[in-house]
Copies of this chain bind each other. A is one copy, B any other.
Amino acid sequence: MLLYQEWARYGVFYKFQPIDLIRKYFGEKIGLYFAWLGLYTEFLIPSSVVGIFVFLYGCITIESDIPSKEMCDQRNAFTMCPLCDKFCDYWNLSSACATARASHLFDNPATVFFSIFMALWATMFLEQWKRLQMRLSYFWDLTGLEEEEYNTSIILKLTNLYISLQIMLTFSAVFGVIVYRITTAAALSFSTNETTRSNIRVTVTATAVIINLIVILILDEIYGAVAKWLTEIEVPKTEKAFEERLILKAFLLKFVNSYAPIFYVAFFKGRFVGRPGHYVYVFDGYRMEECAPGGCLMELCIQLSIIMLGKQLIQNNLFEIGIPKLKKLFRKLKDGRTEPKEMNTNQSKDPQQWDLDYSLEPFTGLTPEYMEMIIQFGFVTLFVASFPLAPLFALLNNIIEVRLDAKKFVTELRRPDTVRAKDIGIWYNILSGIGKLSVIINAFVIAVTSDFIPRLMYQYAYSQNGTMHGFVNHTLSYFNVSHLKAGTQPENSPFAQDILFCRFKDYREPPWSPNQYEFSKQYWAVLSARLAFVILFQNLVMFLSVLVDWMIPDIPKDISEQIKKEKSVLVDFFLKEEHEKLKLIESFITRDKHKHKSGTKDQRSRAASFCQFNQSQKGSVASFSSQHTEV
């Protein structure tokens, strides 16, 4: 089969997809999906390249980055306050050297540039998709298409209920993981084993992220099952508006499911810990969790990469290849057991095509495919400021994904009923919404989560000599250890006697100030700078996006010209034909009038052939005229 040869093999990953062939075999709706997927994958190439450069920039400048150097310098003995009550000891900041260096890979000035780039990239992608869609709908004659409408209000209410329940479930799962982290960290800190204690953070983070991932995967599967059931109970055609509302809600659900832990790490974790001597306690004596000493950005980055990669690897590749194969195997076994007699009757013949087709999985709609890609689009755009390699991973996944989906459609699913569709519907709105959201989220990630603004502020406002030397010292506040509440002091500290002050990461007044431990002036100044950056970034990117949107016309010029030309050709043709027909009729009438007995053979055959021609053209003209409406 041609489609298999040209499209559904991994060997052809470098080739463009044969979209027209796909459309002919599967119909417009699936054709549009693969066209969209292809464009998206193409667009991922430049962003991957830029992302790699940003990452490389981080790698190259890591040696010249003064703050991480200062942190790693053993001579700078910053004695940090204990990370938990009673069982944790004071610790030296240089022990967090590795994470600080790793942080720099993702948290450098190039990241700011990259997030602006990605915001414009998203706008550009949507514009180009509009153009491609216009082009396809022109060449595939989809412009006049309209959908029928049904009414399904009861099912809608049912869905609403279900979706609200699911969102609650998702939030409680995220909350549960946070509780797990806090309690486990506390429990492990009781341990007397030295190695366990030192690995607490790694253990807790890793297990928590993995639990998050598993929760996401399980909830996704539950969602998938219910969505399928919902689609089945109103067989087989759904009202378009209803389907769109269903998709929107399902998307919200998936969105919360996939991003809630990431949002938590990016914007909430470590912001409500209080301060030494006045920590915030939850659940009867557990301290709120702090970020790793390298900053929350590193943790965000780990969280993002594990969830994104894990989701892609497990869900797409394992589930999408593995499960259908297993099901096929299972079905074969079952068929083999229950129908052994029938098998005997046509044993000699080769199995018929329909028998083979029956052993394939039924087609259950494109929603899961789109959903998966849109969630990935979210990973690529929403938090790109903290993980510039996301586009690369997405690209690698998609190169496999396109052929995987293709293979699935060609070889593992029953051929679906061809469905006509003139656009990708609500998915476009969701994409555009994600694009808009990504601007403000990236602005906040750069301003609030990363250390970009404090560094700039230090260099240009507080530094003595305009360099970054002394930055680490500047970000650490002093705490008088005698102010620690009774019972929270480190129990088994070997050097507790020698320590008068410990340091913690915050801008607060020192113990010797009249307003001790209040937020310092620097805190408010840095906060102002952060917020000013958000305003500046958001408005700049929005302005540039409007500019890009405005400069790229929605309808490609060649298409709009062709439409114009065809319209005039159509009108000409139409008038000419009418004219000819009239002439023919008139000639008959004239002949009748002059009482000529019969037409010449020539005339008669001309009339007959014209009728035939007319018959065949009629349909095409009608479709033509309806095709050009709603351009």
Contact = CB atoms under 8 A, between A and B. Distances in A.
Interface of A: 146, 429, 436, 440, 519-521, 523-525, 527-528, 531-532, 534-535, 538-539, 546, 550, 564, 567, 570-571, 574-575, 578, 581-582, 584-586, 588-589, 592-593, 595, 597-599, 604, 607-608, 610-611, 614-615, 618, 622, 625-626, 628-631
Given A528-B528, A592-B604, 8 more contacts: A429-B550, A524-B528, A575-B618, A581-B585, A582-B611, A593-B604, A597-B597, A629-B629
Contacts of A597: 595, 597
Contacts of A611: 582, 585-586, 589
Contact of A575 (B528, B546, B622): B622
Contacts of A440: 539
> Secondary structure of the A side of the interface?
helix
Contacts of A618: 575, 578
A524 B531 CA distance: 12
Nearest to A629: B628
Contact of A525 (B524, B578, B610): B524
Contacts of A610: 585
A627 to B, nearest CB: 9
A550 B432 CA distance: 13
A348 to B, nearest CB: 53
Contacts of A525: 524
Contacts of A146: 564
A589 B571 contact: no
11 contacts: A436-B546, A440-B539, A520-B521, A524-B527, A528-B531, A585-B607, A589-B604, A589-B607, A589-B608, A593-B604, A625-B625
Given A585-B581, A592-B604, A535 B531 contact: yes
A391 B429 CA distance: 34
A145 B74 CA distance: 76
Contacts of A630: 628-629, 631
Nearest to A593: B604
Contacts of A567: 626, 629
Contacts of A598: 592, 595
A575 to B, nearest CB: 7
A523 B522 CA distance: 11
Contacts of A615: 582
A626 B531 contact: no
A578 B622 CA distance: 11
A570 B621 CA distance: 13
Contacts of A582: 611, 614-615
A578 B582 CA distance: 12
A350 to B, nearest CB: 47
A537 to B, nearest CB: 11
Most chain B CB within 10 A, of A524, A550, A581, is at A524
Chain A to chain B: the 10 pairs with minimum beta-carbon distance, closest first: A524-B524, A531-B531, A588-B588, A527-B528, A521-B521, A628-B629, A524-B525, A625-B625, A528-B528, A592-B599
